[in-house]
Amino acid sequence: MGKITMKDVARMAEVSMSTVSRVLNNPESVHAEKRQRVLKVIEAENYHPNALARGLVYKRTQSLGVLLPDISNGYVAEVIRGMEDTANSHGHSLILCNTDMNRERMLKYLRVLKEKQVDGIIFMSEPVTGELNDLFTELQLPVVLASTQSLEYNLPSVKVDDEQAAYDAAVYLIEKGHRKIGMISGPTFDVISGATRYYGFQRAVNEKLGSRADGMVEFGHYRFEDGYIAMKRLYGRKPDITAVFAASDEMAVGAITYLREKGMRVPGDVSVMGYDNTKFASMYTPKLTTVAQPMYEIGSTAVEKMIDRLDGEVSGDERTYLSHKIVERESVAEI
């Protein structure tokens, strides 16, 4: 006999194919006697279901596509961990596609995911353009946004309130006595994280100090080298600066590295605050004070939203904002 199929298992166990599928995906929903018959056949015949076979009844492959901008980023890795654990608990697997924020690469991956018949797509971090939303509609697949959102298109999303988080970070530094505060920001054309964190910082400085911080801001793309270069520019213009808020932990570490090379003490001479609370924030010296995003929960919640959509259980609250918090460690001093 050739490779055994789900149909063969159903025939041998004298049950329907839908019962076999439920035993594989949700065994508690099947009566114990029927469940044992199916499991006995599966074991005796050494049956290994594949995704397409399991999806015959529900027309699903139990797989989700994830489009992400940079898989090497520590923040992204933590979000993916939350997605993976939650998807696995629901019997789903993930197909990860690293777009590198390249449009052609992204479009190619979307076509590939459609061909692989994924049940849905989770889209991370980047803004949703009109062209991209049209493509989502054309693919006729449910889409959930993680670490991004769309105010223009009706797509479910989960993230933190980046503007409020950056505002809180600036207020924290001000309450520590700092008045000459700089920021290493993401690009403002990044409307998801760059512009929002920049405006949150500006709002706090304006409200609490009665000034604008335009001349105290440098820009980069969230990575270590961007933080290093931006800190070099900022310190070159503002050598009397006492604190810096960086829009990512990587940028913060880059800033600290430059300051140390200049013979400056952190936080003795300049305090540095990060954003994200990635793993290395607590491993670096000094341990980084930072704005913590619930990265694992963002990934987990995004998958839960997708499962709800696949099961037809869509709630009215499409846009979900999770709480941020400030984690105090060693890189910020009171003056």
DSSP codes, 20-45: HHHHHH-GGGS-HHHHHHHHHHHHHH
Residue 323 pLDDT > 90: yes
Span 40-97, pLDDT tens digits: 998 888 887 665 554 544 567 889 999 998 888 889 999 999 999 999 888 899 999 9
Distance of CA 205 to the CA centre of its chain: 28
What value does the mean pLDDT take over residues 155-159?
95
- 327: its two tokens: 């984690």
Span 244-263, pLDDT tens digits: 999 999 999 999 999 999 99
Enumerate domains of the chain plus CATH numbers: 6-58 (1.10.260.40), 63-160+295-322 (3.40.50.2300), 162-293 (3.40.50.2300)
pLDDT of the residue at 131 = 87
Question: Which residues lie across from 275 on neighbouring strands?
Answer: 291
Span 185-240, pLDDT tens digits: 999 999 999 999 999 999 999 999 998 877 899 999 999 999 999 999 999 999 99
SS3 124: strand
